[in-house]
Amino acid sequence: MTDLRQPTAECLAFAQALIRCRSVTPAEGGALAFLQSVLEPAGFACHRLTMREPGTADVENLYARLGTGSPHLCFAGHTDVVPPGEEASWSHPPFAAEVADGMLYGRGAVDMKGAIACFLAAAVDYLRSHGGLKRGSLSFLVTGDEESVAINGTPKLLAWLKARGERLDACIVGEPTSSNAVGDEVKIGRRGYVNALLVVHGKQGHSAYAERAENPIPKLARIVDRLSTTPIDRGTPHFQPSSLQATIVSVPNTATNVIPGSARANFNIRYNDLHTRAGIEAWVRRECEKAAAEVGARFTLAFEGSGEVFLTEPGPLVEMMRAAVEAVTGRAPALTTNGGTSDARFIKDLCPVVEAGLVNATAHQVDERVPLADLATLAAIYRRFLEGYFA
């Protein structure tokens, strides 16, 4: 970007307008309406889509496209945010979008209204500088339930696109992927994840007559220890080792003199590209069976959650983002796959996808905030990327 001043001013204004929308999942809060108010005058055809699923809240989404040809670059993000918590604990009101000491405060400043504002500013400046889009297509795919169950957002938007015969050639997801400085990391994949519920069955009884009961707690502890201390793998060239973490241990009991009839543990498993969902489930079951045989435990095991592992192999898209980051910041980003999951796990089935966004240090925290300088840097990276992509 030859002149950062105007796009930076626009970026801040866009970010403030988005943060001031109280779009806590699944509320739209005016955020999508604001995006539409900017995109339509810039020539984008906007579609506001409310997706529904029995047993879940309705979710409003936005798809906006400029152009009809290839290559088609899509920017994907979400305007929904997590609740602010105790608002009195914030230094600045969470939906006021106040600027103080070079920082923009507000829920969603980092995750991820700030990145949406940066890409919006970069796109508007690119179109203004070039007199419009001379080739290909540019689109925004913005959902309202990424922070929740992700049922009525990106998956259904992608199905809607497929039914219309629309194709994406590349996608940028604006999740806060940076660690210490904007652009120091670019995500080219994510580990898969699955949740497991293990229930060890015993026999309830009086703790003074333990011989008449069967205490499931020590047996559960042995199985939890085995699962937690047995390595799944050593990692791969692009992924860190797979990880199984016990997250909840509980018994249906509030009395101190009663041996419970069952005990349960919840696990969250993050797995790399050595595994599939089915393979990880089989590994967990085998380890449970081994430990259960040693202690004579009876158990049941159930799995839930969705998120297959994926990797965008380094190639033209990844190199173009790496070049944009290096041109703006002077450093080459690390290509990583760590962290949690994102809607990129759905998009990867349609096209290559990379994630590049702000520093994630204050995401979901009280006093979530972003330095104004970081907004300028990310807007410049996106702007540089657009130049390269549509060259």
Any catalytic annotation for residue 146?
Answer: yes
The span from the CA of 228 to the CA of 243, in Å, is: 9
Catalytic residue among 28, 60, 80, 355: 80
**Structural contact between residues 157 and 51, judged by C-beta atoms closer than 8 angstroms:** yes
pLDDT in 10s for each residue of the chain, 391 residues: 334 444 578 999 999 999 999 999 999 999 999 999 999 999 999 999 999 999 999 999 999 999 999 999 999 999 999 999 999 999 999 999 999 999 999 999 999 999 999 999 999 999 999 999 999 999 999 999 999 888 999 999 999 999 999 999 999 999 999 999 999 999 999 999 999 999 999 999 999 999 999 999 999 999 999 999 999 999 999 999 999 999 999 999 999 999 999 999 999 999 999 999 999 999 999 999 999 999 999 999 999 977 789 999 999 999 999 999 999 999 999 999 998 889 999 999 999 999 999 999 999 999 999 999 999 999 999 999 999 999 9
The span from the CA of 363 to the CA of 326, in Å, is: 25
Catalytic residue among 28, 60, 146, 308: 146
- Listed in sequence order, the residues at least 6 apart from 161 whose beta carbon sits closer than 8 Å to its beta carbon are 63, 168, 350
The span from the CA of 391 to the CA of 388, in Å, is: 5
The span from the CA of 368 to the CA of 388, in Å, is: 32
Any catalytic annotation for residue 80?
Answer: yes
Q: How many CB atoms are closer than 10 A to CB 94?
A: 26
**Structural contact between residues 297 and 219, judged by C-beta atoms closer than 8 angstroms:** yes
In order of their start, the domains of the chain are 5-190+309-389 (3.40.630.10), 192-304 (3.30.70.360)
The span from the CA of 119 to the CA of 311, in Å, is: 23
